[in-house]
Chains A and B, each alone.
Chain A
Amino acid sequence: MLHYSKYNVEFQDGNDFVIINLFTGSIIKLPNDKFVDLNNELALFNKEELQQLLEMGILFNGEEFDFVQQKRLENFQNQKDEKFHITVLTTLDCNARCYYCYEKGVTKSSMTPQTARQVVEFIKNNYDGKIVSFSWFGGEPLYNHTIIDIICSELQKLNISYESHMITNAYLVYEHFDKIINFWNVKRLQITLDGIGVEYNKIKNYIYGKSIDAFNVIIDNIERLLSYNIRVVLRVNFNPMNIKAAQETIEFVFQRFGNNSNLRVYGAWLTGDKIPSPQDYIGDSHPLLEIYRTLLNCGYIQDIEDLGIATKLLNCSVYRNKWYVVNIDGNLYKCQHAIVDGACEAIGDIYDGVINIPTLNKWQGLSYPMEECKKCKCLPICQGGCKSKVLKADRDICLPFKNCIKEALQLFYKKIYKGEKL
């Protein structure tokens, strides 16, 4: 039966209603009377309008949860032409000592050249003859850059094409700049900014001593990367108890780099025992709204997807069959977060391949974690949340913006469609 979608979010704008469908991301505006009719008789809509409402998911015929679940399953079963991807942890050691690091307590060992050569063997035996995609990760991946050199060099000898991205604190980018561009073929770097100046230096607590202004080093490196048209994704970590620091950081980035087309900036809610959960807040008072406000005013949110509102039937890389994470010891995992739990979460290793099928199946299980997911408006975007958090029964499985999605969309609408200063 044709009905108003449960994945719609709506709010009033004067005499009109704005409706956003969270499955498709479509946005429409209707006069008040038509909005009322949309939830009732559908008498005020012509045939063409009804067809468009159906296509955009604002109206739906049938049971939506079953539909989403079925499409998710089909997407998982029909994986083809996907890229062979391998995340390589070059080291678990790091030149920074951030208090919030999820790898805290892990032994700070590094990958050996011998293991790196075996990674290449694993790739040679398992890739599909096309391009290999790398994520270089750690610890700080540049802290053991020799591993990247060995793997890239061996692949070149084998005529295997590759490209990569890197998650780095960027402190060592300058000394490896030529390799980043010309040898490792890095297309994108994710870099964290925890604050500005002294505050950043305090949180990062680099090993180089207090006389070095690490913040300036990072900013200069970001500038250099952008000048070479390398994609830079800046993650601005924030503690909800101190939103102002994150807002100032975003504004600093804007003043320094503006809206460079290769730059993306987003806010990330820190997690920790002493830090409140996003689920502790609701509606207008949600700290995330202040972050969105600043990002919108600086032009770093242009599209609804920049708010994190984008349906991904397979919401996580763990569901991709050609997606591997290799730890420093050669064990294979589905997720970087699993390595802190040790070999019990490994799906195999680079010597024997994927052999631990029960663990693989556990990570690739498609069921939703909670009964309430079936009724949740955010299901199309969230799809049950981060698999690592689900398996660890983390308190923050739900999307951080779940409790303020309407208010976030209102801000987005005001800025993007009405041009208002927020």
Chain B
Amino acid sequence: MIILSKKTIDEICNLTAISSCDSRDDNCWCMNDLGC
């Protein structure tokens, strides 16, 4: 078994509201969805 990229369930679950959706987060697809 080769692990190419490892992130754990615990890491994801411990994301806070801030880190999971920040206004400065480029990957927040909600903000990205603003068609302006």
Question: What residues of chain A have their CB less than 8 Å away from a CB belonging to chain B?
Answer: 18, 23-30, 34, 45, 49, 52-53, 55-57, 71, 74-76, 78-83, 85, 87, 98, 100-102, 133, 135, 137-138, 165, 167, 169, 187-188, 190, 192, 231, 233, 235, 237, 264, 266, 268, 270-271, 304-306, 308, 310-317, 319-320, 336-337, 380, 386, 417
| B3, B15, B17, most chain A CB atoms within 10 A | B17
Residue of A nearest to B3 (CB): A28
Partner of B23, one of A29, A76, A133: A133
Residue of A nearest to B11 (CB): A24
A313/B1 in contact, CB under 8 A = no
A169/B12 in contact, CB under 8 A = no
Q: List 18 contacting pairs A-B, 8 Å CB cutoff, sorted by A.
A: A23-B12, A25-B5, A30-B2, A45-B1, A52-B1, A53-B1, A55-B6, A55-B9, A75-B13, A87-B23, A98-B36, A101-B35, A231-B26, A308-B29, A314-B21, A320-B17, A337-B34, A386-B30
Chain B residues lying within 8 Å of A55, measured Cβ to Cβ, are 6, 8-10
A79/B16 in contact, CB under 8 A = yes
Chain B residues lying within 8 Å of A75, measured Cβ to Cβ, are 13, 15-17, 20
> Bound state CA distance, A310 and B13, in angstroms?
12
Chain B residues lying within 8 Å of A29, measured Cβ to Cβ, are 1-2, 4
Question: What residues of chain B have their CB less than 8 Å away from a CB belonging to chain A?
Answer: 1-13, 15-18, 20-24, 26-36
Chain B residues lying within 8 Å of A313, measured Cβ to Cβ, are 12-13, 15, 20
Chain A residues lying within 8 Å of B22, measured Cβ to Cβ, are 83
Q: A82 with B4: in contact, given A169-B36, A317-B28 (CB under 8 Å)?
A: no
Residue of B nearest to A138 (CB): B36
> Bound state CA distance, A78 and B14, in angstroms?
10
Partner of B30, one of A98, A137, A317: A317
Partner of A25, one of B3, B7, B16, B36: B7
> Bound state CA distance, A101 and B3, in angstroms?
44
> Bound state CA distance, A98 and B20, in angstroms?
31
B4/A28 in contact, CB under 8 A = yes
Residue of B nearest to A323 (CB): B23
> Bound state CA distance, A167 and B30, in angstroms?
13
A24/B4 in contact, CB under 8 A = no
Chain A residues lying within 8 Å of B7, measured Cβ to Cβ, are 24-26, 56
Shortest C-beta distance, A219 to chain B (Å), equals: 18
A56/B6 in contact, CB under 8 A = yes
Shortest C-beta distance, B17 to chain A (Å), equals: 5
A386/B33 in contact, CB under 8 A = yes
